[in-house]
Amino acid sequence: MKKIFLILFVFLSAFSLFAQKLEAEDGDAYSAKTASSISGFSGKGYVDFLPGGSSFVKITFKTKKSSNYAFKLTYSADSEKPSAVKVEIDDKYLVTQKLQASDSFTNNFLLNTALLEKGQHTVKVTGYRGKWSFDSIEVIEADDKLISQIKNKRLVNPNAIPEAQKLFEYLCQMQGKGILSGQQIYGQNTQEIKTLLAATGKNPAVLGIDLIDFSPSRVEHGASGGRLTSVAKKYWDEGGIITCAWHWNAPSGLIDKDMPEMHWYDGFRTKATTFDFSKGIKDHESEEYKLMIRDIDAIAKQLKILAKNNIPVLWRPIHEASGKWFWWGAKGPENYIELYKLMYDRLVNYHGLNNLIWVWNAQDPDWYPGDEYVDVLSYDYYPMKYKHGTADEYLAKIQAATDKAKLYAISENGALPNVVKLEEEKSLWSWWCTWNGDFTVAADGKSYSESNTSLDSLKLYYNNPYTITRDELPSFKVSQ
């Protein structure tokens, strides 16, 4: 009987998941102090983090075997200002995420796991923003069930079309396994795509389009978006993915002076219009509100063409708001958030556009409209010429907006991100999308421009196995 129990014990031990709790006060702290006034802590106390992102604790631990590991953080966070934590494992970025306000100690899983070899490791816990207290962090061997629980993501629109669901599921599956290449075009001109194909032998997985010339105030001046949706449909039919922005020319109040960035066609810029959208946000009987609805409806008409063809769209409206150089960011985060919600409600609930995957791009956590309105958090990344980084600092910035599992994208870029390093870090970025014009096409209008990324680097990154190009995508078509 003893022998049977011994065999059973060994068998169960072999299949049990490794877990250990690391106490914050046992680590090496910098610009942080041990405390014990909040009840409910484990161990001998906890560590108070100073606001401002300068405090951190490093803790060394050992794993008994090579495996995937999850991390559960126990903390208490101030309710007055948003708090967030940044975590690195062995000096490699893991995740940044928002902490829920709590007067007592609570815990949450971090929204990323790490593949660790057997042996010694170091976890670095940094107070990214806000004031909070760190009690402990558990290191837990993660099986598929736990990983699925931690990284569970759903589209915010429960009525999304099957093609949107299928695309979103694919992006979720590929997170940390590869990054989709992308290229923005202007209007119906696809020269950037032709140039990339000639230079690399590859088509980008993602085609970026802009509905700018469908803005009514541009149409009034003779602009035309033409058959841009036909270009998008063709790319989709050829196996690509569509992402769509809208440089929204202000509905009225165009200054239209013969001065830099103040012409009628610069009407998306703050300094090129007197339009005050905050009046429309506050008063739905106002002329400003009626004009905004008119414009959103004009764009809905174009998006419906794609919806009719069952084409999902990575939809990135009113972008770069926190920079305030566009009019939709000029009145602060509260008004921007209400405008974002208005657009969501009008497009989804009024127009029934269920082909949209919502990509938030205000780029600052204080401008986040809420988890129920966002599928993807994105950042527009323009490093110095020929500087190819991983954009970890910008990933951290947008991740700090939420404690829910989301996707992340480099929605615009100049120089390409460093795909080699992205692969090493198992980066969470889902796609990049190089901006149009001389970022890709030279002055002759045909050959590749090396203005930000050299030809050698372009070929290196486009042909890296971690980069996903159009020919490597599965089909997302469901409805016939």
Positions marked active-site: 320, 412
Q: Give the 3-state DSSP-derived string for 167-225, with helices as H, strands as E and coil as C.
A: HHHHHHHHCCCCEECEEECECCECHHHHHHHHHHCCCECEEEEECHHHCHHHHCCCCCC
Q: How many CB atoms lie within 10 A of CB 448?
A: 19
Contacts (Cβ under 8 Å, ≥6 apart) of 464: 419, 420, 423
Contacts (Cβ under 8 Å, ≥6 apart) of 208: 182, 183, 184, 185, 243, 244, 245, 433, 436
**Given CA atoms 350, 351, 353, 358 in this order, what sign does their dihedral have?**
negative
> In the structure encoding, which two tokens stand for residue 453, read together?
């990324």
**Type of residue found at 442:** A
